[in-house]
Amino acid sequence: MGYGQMLRVSKVEERLDQPPAPLAQRTHSDCVIIRPSRADEGPRPEVSDLSAGAKALGVRLVMIPPGARGMPHFHADHETALYVVSGETEVWHGAGLVERAMVRAGDFIYIPPGAPHLAVNRGDVTSIAVAARTDPADESSTVVIELPRHLAGLLSLPVAL
């Protein structure tokens, strides 16, 4: 990634720090274009069954601010693939969340159905990823699990929503 591309990522970060925007949809033939319309209303844009009528695919941005984490969970019935746009994220995964991997801007990560996982951002840059999953409904098959004892130190980190 060149220097100019890195500058663009930081500009994206500045834009994403604004309050979420409502969805503005425009239909062209068979396509639905989803855009934020105003920076002070509504959820972040995503492709879902509600926003686009998606039948088998959901796409959204996942953002974890510096010093924050997600909730430990798994998706019972669907696959997830993520492309990391910025930052660096520690991903705990597998049975008991005992496996640890670092993903950085430019990396892809695949999460099969039923695989427990937890993302943690210990860095100083917001971690942003584009997540695609085989379930267009909003979190319909997400199962939150208990944080294992060996990760109890993460309880002090705020949970990114």
Tokens of 25: 């949809």
116 burial type by CB count under 10 A (0-12 exposed, 13-18 middle, 19+ buried): buried
Predicted confidence (pLDDT) per residue in 110-156, tens digit: 999 999 999 999 999 999 999 999 977 766 678 999 999 999 999 99
Which H helix or E strand runs over 4? helix 3-16
Q: Is 107 helix (H, G, I), strand (E, B) or coil?
A: coil
Q: Are 133 and 57 in contact (CB under 8 A)?
A: yes
Separation CA 25–CA 12 (nearest Å): 21
**pLDDT number for residue 96:** 95
Where do the domains of the chain lie? 3-155
Predicted confidence (pLDDT) per residue in 29-73, tens digit: 578 777 766 555 556 778 877 777 888 888 889 999 999 999 999
Q: Is 95 helix (H, G, I), strand (E, B) or coil?
A: helix
What is the CATH code for 3-155?
A: 2.60.120.10
Q: Are 45 and 18 in contact (CB under 8 A)?
A: no
Predicted confidence (pLDDT) per residue in 90-109, tens digit: 999 999 999 999 999 999 99
Extended strands (E) in the chain: 23-28, 31-36, 58-64, 68-69, 73-75, 80-86, 88-93, 99-104, 108-111, 117-121, 127-133, 142-144
Quick check: 24 pLDDT over 90? no
Tokens of 73: 């969970």
